[in-house]
Amino acid sequence: MHEHVHGFFAGHDSRVHSFDRGPVQRVLPGFHVIEIDPGAKHGLFTYVSVGAGFSDEPGQSSLEFLVAAEQPSARHVELLAMTAHYHRTGERLDVGHTFPIGEPWLEGSTLEHMLVSVPYPYGPDLEVMDAGDYHVHIRQWFELASSR
């Protein structure tokens, strides 16, 4: 996964963030997030999960998740960990699914739900990773306003 993401974002600075709070490491040992700085491929900070959707089911594609943001924040890492945990223990997410996060995604926001989408701004070169028997689709989520 790292080779795929870093190959797509060649020339962008990046770093890896682990997330050890909450239950995600018990459910998905080794889960972490790659943070990619803005650059030639994309003008926003991009966060990509690693370890979110390793499938137990033969022949099923794995999913990883992505979020883009204007400013870097540990909150994006936390939200990807929440997404990965929800995907693994709750409803299996894919394009068109929405899910609540139980609080605003950023301080002062009314956006409390996520919509899962194809990562259109990045195109299929990032969206699909084929490595022999290991097939991954990356999904992006967008924030939605609360229905309250």
- Whether 56 has a pLDDT exceeding 70, the answer reads no
Q: Helix %, strand %, coil % for the chain, to 5?
A: 20, 35, 45
The pLDDT value recorded for residue 148 is: 46
- Domain borders along the chain are 2-145
Residues 6+ positions from 19 with CB-CB distance below 8 Å: 25, 31, 32, 33, 77, 78, 80, 81
The CA distance from 81 to 24, in Å, is: 6
pLDDT tens digits, one per residue of 1-48: 899 999 999 999 999 999 988 899 998 999 999 999 999 999 999 999
Main-chain dihedrals φ then ψ at residue 31, nearest 5 degrees: -55, 140
pTM attached to this predicted model? 0.88
Residue type, 66: L
Q: Residue 26 contacts by C-beta under 8 Å, 6 or more apart in sequence?
A: none
